[in-house]
Structure 1
Amino acid sequence: MSVEDRVLDTLERIGRASVEERRAVFVAVALVVVLSAGAAVSSVQMQMGMDLYIDDGSETWEDWSYLKEEFDEGNNVFVIVESDSLYDPATVRAVDRLDGRYSSIDDVRTVVSLADVVRAGGDGGIPETSAGVERAVKRFADSGNEELVDNLVPRNDMTVLLAPYGNVGTLNTGGFMPTRGSDVIYSEFRDETGFVELPPGTTATVTGQPVFENAAFGLMLPEMVMLFGGSFTVILVVVYLIMRGRLKRGREVLMPLGTAMLALVVMMGVMGILNYDFNAIMLGVMPIALGLGIDYGLQVQTRYIEERRAGGSPVDAAGITSRTTGKAVLLAMGTTAIGLGSLFVSEVPPVRQFGVTSASSVAASMAFSVTFLPALLATFDAEDTDGGREGAGQEDDGVIESLLRRLGGTVCRRPNLTILVMLLVVLSGAWAYPQVEPKQEMMDFWPQDLEEKNDLTYLEENVESPKVMYVVVEGGDVYTPERFRELSDYQRVMLQNPNVNYVDSPVERVKLVNNGTVPGTNAGLDGALREAAADSPFDAGTVDEPTHLVLSFYVNDVSGSEVRTLIDEFDGNARTVLDDEVRVTGKPVLNRNVIENVTAGLTPMTLLSFGLGLIFLTLAFWSARVAVVLIAGVAASAALMVTGAMYVLGIPWNPLTVTMSSMALGVGIDYGIHVYERFEEEALAGASSVEAVVTSLEKLARPVLGSSITTMAGFGVLVLSRFPVLSNFGKTVVLVILTSLVATFVILPAVLTAVTMVRDGERCRI
């Protein structure tokens, strides 16, 4: 007995046993679902922020974590204070009260404000007149701090308070999907701002990247409910419209949906077991799992009804269904799991998690479709042999069948011309592949129509240095005059870059109180550090160990390749000027690392998924020729056509759209497998090769279109998401399915027709 026969016999036995031992199946499924739900509730959390997209084993992550843990730096909250009388002492005192309130927040290391500048430039207090305030500010700026003052007071009616912090505690812990991260710091800043009474005509706006992240984070749970509810509703309507002519009772529509829902619970359990967090990227898994799950269930239910109508008993119907449709579902599941599983090579952690959890949901959907669903169908079957309403489900040719038959005839008459035209379309997509660009900022992946986003944009437009890059210096005792002079040289070199505006560091604070120079002795350095701690508006006590310190460089709102150039310059100059070990980090570094990793994994994921898919289908069909036709004719063609459409529609690469090629293999090739399987069946029944192609299209028009529309409904709801990363992914997947249909109904038939006509010397008779 061949391997294929053993697999088919095993599937048939599973189907028959599922009906004969229904109670055991229900108990086993219930146990799996309960355990999965428990794992999900106890472990799965919701999370937001750029940290998610950095591999926690990478050097970038280690440098970022080290900065936050050792120096309480890395994140920055800005508070924009606008006033008609900014230099009025009452306004400065209000700023001072805000400074004090923010400084009391546990996670905040220090706060720098206009009040600090006024004190440092005056006699340690706030003058009683506006003229006195202006003189104090000018005196501080003239002492070598002009860039700092310009950043803190970008306009005559605006000042900015800067509050850096490192790690943040957790809020609302316990329970399913507790929140954590930036919401802690934002809620405390908001509360403290409300406690301060501002003078008339004065406003305070809390902003910064953590604030925007918190606002976007707050949309995640409503977004998840909306997307899941929308997917479920649309799919329910589509399935009802497709299946109502074949079902006796309307409630039977819920059965395939039930298997898909159970697969979702198992998927969430897998997330809990693997300690995966729920984030914006993982929101895309829900509609995907639901769409693919209902696709498998729909095919099994349709075949079961067909066998019952033919007079088979529930046990026999389940056995035949599992043997025939179960084979197609198994092949589809295998290719889909390979396509999605290949995402595990991505450099972006949420993309890897996306692949693993999606593959687990597909595997669970397949398992439930050939076990739980037959048992459920048999339980509610009531032993009627028609399997549905009287007269329902007759094989009548309709508009769809006629259109597909005509399409098949057209392709058959001119297969070479069809192949040539489609080849030009596919090659256009190949040309567009390198033209599709990623977004340059992670912030662009999240909702843009938020007040917090407008505040952040306002900050970036008005503040010269809204971003900070950090250089952590380690090695021996860095608190010596020699090392400080080296660091001073390094700072001077970096400040020559037009994108670097000013620097805060222990070196700079020492120079500030020592006439712009570094003391020549250790005792002089220690004294200058103590004096700086008392006089500088910056906290001089950010260093806990004498073996390391941090240099904070305030830079322009740089993005894209400029960031990589700046990172390389920071790192290269550090290795040239300094002998110490250095770490260059900060939010701009994290952002650039993520953007580069998004596209870096695209080609490896594509090659891996298509390579493994080719091997899998070669073994499944025991034919490399068939595997190449399916992979190249359907999956690869669809992927390249999607790339062309992305270029035309302006859809960028992001952590989800880079999965496009894997989705084309995992989702689209399912249709090609069904058409090829029916082609083989018709050919074995004695039809000519051309007739077999046309009949395959005609007979599979409804089920393939029904499955594709159902899947598009699940994915398409993502287009409505407020998260651009999800909305663009929804558009991309809809394009994947549409182009997969084109490849299945046009390219694949043309290739099959051309190959068989050449092989058999046939002429088209349709």
Structure 2
Amino acid sequence: MREQVNETNRLASLLDKHALAILSGSIFITLIMVSQLVPFPEFSTEVSDFAPPNESERQIEAIELEFPPQASRIYVNVKSSEQTGNPLSLPLIQDMYNESLAIQSMAEERGVTILSQINVALAIDTIISERDPSKNLMSMSSWNEVIDAVEEGEDCTSLAGETSITAAAGFAAEALVSSDLKFDGLCDYLDGVNNADPTPSAYSTMWIIEASAQDPKEILMPFSLELREYLSEGGSAGANGLVYSVVSEELVSQDINDGTLSNFTSLLAISLLVIVGILALAFRSAVMVSAPLVALTAALSWTYGLVAIGGSEFTVLDIAVAPVILGLGIDYGIHMQKGYERNLSQGMRPSLAWVESFDGLRLALTLSVVTTVTAFLSNALSPIDPLRAFGTTLAIGVVCAFLATTITVGAIHVVFERSTGKSVRNVNNSTKIARKTSAFMDQGLAKVMAVVAILTLSSALISVGRLETSFELTDFLDEDMESMEARDEIYGNYDVEFVKTAIILIDFNDQETIPDDKTIMQSMLGLHSRLVLDENVIRPQNTENSRPQYEGIYTVLRDKLEITPDWGSDFGIELFDGQVGLSSNHQEGDLTAALTLLTEDLTLGDPLRGHTWADRVSRVVAFDNSTGTISHLMIDVSVTAESSVDTDSIADGFQEHASWLESDGNCGCVTYLTGEIIVIESVLDGLFVSQLESTVLSLIASFFVLMALTRRFSTSAVIILPVALAGIWVVGTMALVGLNWNVLTVMITALTIGLGIDYSIHMWRRFEDELDKGADRVHAMSNAYEITGAALMMSAFTTASGFLVLLLSPVPVIQDFGFVSAASVALSLILALFVLPALLLSEAKARGIK
């Protein structure tokens, strides 16, 4: 005992002696770490960053190298500058045509590869030039001339036909023109009605710019930003007759990078002000408020600075790090300062009062920090890089918060007391409520657990099947931001909104024998029939059989045969009732010969994109250079999903298509899935599964840490049980209020475990300390309520208030995170104060403690 007193006095003397040096060192370290954050690193918001590793990734990348690069799409919504104007009027379409050429030149100057531009102006110009090379869109003076230049005996009834041209026209009408399209005059003109005006009209039209996804983002991002600025200023003609709004994944990412930091910084500042107000009411002392606040601000700088020094990339998940560190740090600080107050009231000098406070909390704080760090580090086992980085950053933050609140805050108090000579000595008096609550908990375990069981079962039942996982980058944007306004206009005005891709890669190289032509064509026909029935695939609704929009060898051959029926006769490839098939004079190898011939065909094959037949073939088939046979096929399917929630059924459907090809389809091949929809689905699955696994691992790891430190199974189980219950209750709360999992709320279990373990350990440790002093179990729990319970309530109220400030954010995902985090704090506190005590008292009774 005397040795412990001597050690305490020695540490107090060291703190007295070196307090100023500790404070100066903390400031110096903070300045160094802040320097690593100036300018503040950008957040990474690439969807692919959140995708778990794919065991077939290497094979997919190798196959994709056999084909031209995939497209990164930039969507431009085009309207007339006049409220009642018509962007489809010929002069405005000609303006769009000129802007398309300007954008092409801009891209070439910036080193950006434009694969295609899809808009009505370029499509019409392509068709006019195909019909008569001496004419183009700019040579037309009216829509009458345009129709006369492109029509070949069609009328409105023929627009419901089943050809590649009518399908392309139908797709353009749905995807490129707003849903209020009117073309009655066009029908009248085609029907020969006198003085009919064929000019179509619509509120807006779409312009899709497809850039190469292989271009470095360091080139593509600046180009996208410059493109948006250029078009928002009216393009080359300045304030002309068209108004443009631009959105793309790159622009959304950039807007998140620009908006997330400023938005979250302002909210964090408000949170700190709220915390200051609450601490001021609780301690009524400037130093008691400023000391933990200064220390925790330093801890945040240390955490983010160390991450920056380590070279880790910041992601949107790092938004959640700051409030977690503040929440845990405030908890540590309040417990330390409460003990400091009590010791000052007993006449101790400041340094000794602080060391004695730490000595009394040492075991509880150590347990709390070790278990919390272990829980967070369990994320390091996640296959998703941002989740691994998130867990590591949280663990670093907990250690920084612990060091700042135990060492730096102590040094601040010693320096302050030395300079002012004032000591704050507020004492909390015991209350009857603590005694009555303790007595009830001692006898009411059955009642408490019955209520807990009902609430836990209800939470589980409510959440089952009601929580979806959502991953939308636009969830991080303010509704008033330019990208969101453009996105909302597109969703509101078009029958087909944002086109995404689901790609089936077919590999014949892994097979011992390459399938014959008949097998390949039968499997492609079977896949085509399945895609016809797949409701998730985009299709023009004005065609007889709603032809699915996809690119593959089947659609290339079909479209070529519809335009030139005799083309396939030399290869025994014909149309039979609209379906591509092999005739009796087909010989093995003719399919490869036909596709090879198309690679040399430079005539127009796709009027929307302006691609030749050679372009189309190169995007769907790759040949073995040594044998000349087909080595790989690509099926590029256009799908649309309004939100990431829709991607689940799409991905499942394509998994079934790919499995069918390998089994019943008898393609004699190996299939792989890729494309935007598949990547998004892998992100959704990866986030949910990874977080579920890390949560379970966190609880298991924390339990074994508690076992190692307490050496009592029953005590460890009692401490960890309320933490697990808090996680279930939080999930039930989310389901009850209609929230879904997103990239931030999916982290809530980590926060719940971190806070819940901390609260539980403090209550348990205080209860054990009071028992060691000779108190009976009811009085021991009463004292724990009085001392630690009061501190926990103050800590939880402060932390929850800080989280609730996030509801002021204009960004939905941050609002959700603020609400769920505050709920997590409240539920963790409730379980620590009203469930854990009943379990501890029961466990003490079982040990024979009176």
| 5+ residue gaps, structure 1 | 172-179
Aligned residues: 738
Name the % identity. 18
Shift of 1:60: 6.1
Aligned positions of 1:430-449 closer than 5 A: 430-443=460-473, 445-447=475-477, 449=479
**Structure-2 change in CA distance of 1:696 and 1:45 (3 Å):** same
Q: Aligned AA for 2:120?
A: L
2-structure distance, mates of 1:296, 1:62: 50
**Structure-2 change in CA distance of 1:441 and 1:57 (3 Å):** closer
The answer to whether the aligner puts 1:423 opposite 2:453 as a matched pair is yes
Backbone CA RMSD of aligned residues:
3.9
Structure 1 residue aligned with 2:676: 587
Aligned positions of 1:179-190 closer than 5 A: 182=221, 184-190=223-229
Preserved CA contact (<8 Å) 2:438 2:778: no
Counterpart secondary structure, 2:418: coil
2-structure distance, mates of 1:550, 1:115: 29
Preserved CA contact (<8 Å) 1:466 1:554: no
Greater C-alpha radius of gyration:
2
Structure 2 residue aligned with 1:174: none
The answer to whether the aligner puts 1:743 opposite 2:809 as a matched pair is no
The answer to whether the aligner puts 1:306 opposite 2:352 as a matched pair is no
Q: 1:707 aligns with which of 766, 790, 795?
A: 795
Structure 1 residue aligned with 2:261: 221
Preserved CA contact (<8 Å) 2:115 2:210: yes
The answer to whether the aligner puts 1:119 opposite 2:125 as a matched pair is yes
1-structure distance, mates of 2:718, 2:373: 20
**Structure-2 change in CA distance of 1:465 and 1:489 (3 Å):** farther
Counterpart secondary structure, 2:314: coil
Q: Aligned AA for 1:557?
A: A
**Structure-2 change in CA distance of 1:78 and 1:584 (3 Å):** same
Preserved CA contact (<8 Å) 1:111 1:162: yes
Structure 1 residue aligned with 2:639: 555
Shift of 1:216: 4.0
The answer to whether the aligner puts 1:379 opposite 2:415 as a matched pair is yes
2-structure distance, mates of 1:9, 1:64: 67
2-structure distance, mates of 1:695, 1:145: 83
Q: 1:639 aligns with which of 727, 733, 748?
A: 727
| 5+ residue gaps, structure 2 | 175-180, 183-201, 538-547, 572-589, 625-631
**Structure-2 change in CA distance of 1:57 and 1:368 (3 Å):** farther
Shift of 1:284: 1.8
Structure 2 residue aligned with 1:177: none
The answer to whether the aligner puts 1:627 opposite 2:716 as a matched pair is yes
Shift of 1:404: 4.0
Q: 1:36 aligns with which of 33, 36, 44?
A: 33
Q: Aligned AA for 2:90?
A: P
2-structure distance, mates of 1:339, 1:138: 69
Counterpart secondary structure, 1:161: strand
Preserved CA contact (<8 Å) 1:472 1:584: yes
2-structure distance, mates of 1:75, 1:11: 64
Preserved CA contact (<8 Å) 1:9 1:323: no
Aligned positions of 1:80-95 closer than 5 A: 80-82=77-79, 85=86, 88-95=89-96
**Structure-2 change in CA distance of 1:647 and 1:133 (3 Å):** same
Q: Aligned AA for 1:464?
A: V
The answer to whether the aligner puts 1:237 opposite 2:277 as a matched pair is yes
Preserved CA contact (<8 Å) 2:470 2:740: no
1-structure distance, mates of 2:65, 2:113: 11
Preserved CA contact (<8 Å) 2:287 2:413: no
The answer to whether the aligner puts 1:453 opposite 2:484 as a matched pair is yes
Structure 1 residue aligned with 2:172: 152
Structure 1 residue aligned with 2:49: 52
Structure 2 residue aligned with 1:293: 329
2-structure distance, mates of 1:12, 1:64: 65
Preserved CA contact (<8 Å) 2:71 2:115: no
Structure 1 residue aligned with 2:817: 729
Structure 2 residue aligned with 1:688: 776
**Structure-2 change in CA distance of 1:692 and 1:659 (3 Å):** same
**Structure-2 change in CA distance of 1:110 and 1:579 (3 Å):** farther
Q: Aligned AA for 1:159?
A: T
2-structure distance, mates of 1:563, 1:219: 32
Shift of 1:492: 3.0
Counterpart secondary structure, 2:315: coil
Structure 2 residue aligned with 1:503: 550
Shift of 1:40: 3.9
Q: Aligned AA for 1:108?
A: I
Structure 1 residue aligned with 2:380: 344
**Structure-2 change in CA distance of 1:200 and 1:716 (3 Å):** closer
Structure 2 residue aligned with 1:467: 499
Shift of 1:136: 6.1
**Structure-2 change in CA distance of 1:91 and 1:445 (3 Å):** closer
2-structure distance, mates of 1:36, 1:63: 41
Q: Aligned AA for 2:484?
A: K
2-structure distance, mates of 1:254, 1:335: 28
The answer to whether the aligner puts 1:564 opposite 2:601 as a matched pair is no
Aligned positions of 1:753-764 closer than 5 A: 753-757=841-845, 760=848
Shift of 1:128: 4.0
Moved more, 698-707 or 301-310: 301-310
Counterpart secondary structure, 1:584: strand
| Cα offsets for 1:99-141 (capped at 9, x unmatched) | 2233332243221222333234332422443134346666697
Moved more, 646-655 or 131-140: 131-140
Preserved CA contact (<8 Å) 2:745 2:816: yes
Preserved CA contact (<8 Å) 1:42 1:272: no
Shift of 1:440: 4.2
**Structure-2 change in CA distance of 1:198 and 1:38 (3 Å):** closer
**Structure-2 change in CA distance of 1:621 and 1:136 (3 Å):** farther
**Structure-2 change in CA distance of 1:316 and 1:202 (3 Å):** closer
Counterpart secondary structure, 1:394: coil
Shift of 1:614: 0.8
Shift of 1:268: 0.9
2-structure distance, mates of 1:435, 1:571: 27
2-structure distance, mates of 1:616, 1:228: 33
Preserved CA contact (<8 Å) 1:720 1:727: yes
Structure 1 residue aligned with 2:18: 21
Counterpart secondary structure, 1:311: coil
Preserved CA contact (<8 Å) 1:256 1:301: no
Shift of 1:628: 0.7
Aligned positions of 1:482-501 closer than 5 A: 489=525, 492-493=528-529, 495-496=531-532, 497-500=534-537, 501=548
Preserved CA contact (<8 Å) 1:663 1:733: yes
Structure 2 residue aligned with 1:176: none
Q: Aligned AA for 1:618?
A: M
Moved more, 188-197 or 709-718: 188-197
Shift of 1:415: 3.5
Q: 2:403 aligns with which of 364, 367, 382?
A: 367
| Cα offsets for 1:507-559 (capped at 9, x unmatched) | 75576456266684677655533434656443455859866675432224371
Q: 1:396 aligns with which of 417, 420, 429?
A: 429
2-structure distance, mates of 1:640, 1:164: 45
The answer to whether the aligner puts 1:163 opposite 2:163 as a matched pair is no
Q: Aligned AA for 2:446?
A: N
